[in-house]
Amino acid sequence: MPSGFCFAHDPERRSEHKAGATLGGIRSGAMKRKGLDPDQLGPLKSAVDAKRWSELIGTSVLTGTLSVAQGRVGLDFLDTWLKAYEAGELEERLAAWEAAQRGGH
């Protein structure tokens, strides 16, 4: 402390202090975002629902309602859910096809 002031009160480091405070405000604001209300999201039972969720999450990140980290988690979840949903759909179609093949002989 060559000037005799601490970092927060040193007039020569005012711009550094202001930049740090701004960054701190951005970070703390991101931590305080509560996320989306389940009523906003609606059900997740089909690929159409997943598309709606994806659009809502993307818009929410772009408008600042969700942090980028929250958006990533939401979209990663949707990606995993969609893969499981598609696998389930494929299993059902295969089972129906196999049943039709057995019934035809």
Q: How far apart are CA 104 and CA 81, in angstroms?
A: 35
Its pTM surpasses 0.85: no
The verdict on 47 and 92 lying in the same domain is yes
User: What pLDDT is attached to residue 29?
Assistant: 58
Parent domain of 98: 35-104
Between 6-15, 45-54, 66-75, 88-97, the lowest mean confidence (pLDDT) is in 6-15
Convert the pLDDT of each residue in 17-73 to its tens digit: 677 666 666 566 555 778 999 999 999 999 999 999 999 999 999 999 999 999 999
Residues 22 and 70 in one domain: no
Same domain, 68 and 92: yes
Q: What is the DSSP-derived secondary structure letter of residue 9?
A: T
**C-alpha angle 56/61/62, rounded to 5°?**
100
Cα dist from 14 to 9, 41, 85, whole Å: 7, 44, 54
Is 10 a residue whose pLDDT tops 90?
A: no
Instruction: Indicate whether 4 and 40 sit together in one domain.
Output: no
Task: State how far the Cα of 76 lies from the Cα of 84, in Å rounded to an integer.
Answer: 13
Question: Could you give the CA distance from residue 92 to residue 90 in angstroms, rounded to a whole number?
Answer: 5
Same domain, 27 and 49: no
Same domain? 27 vs 40: no
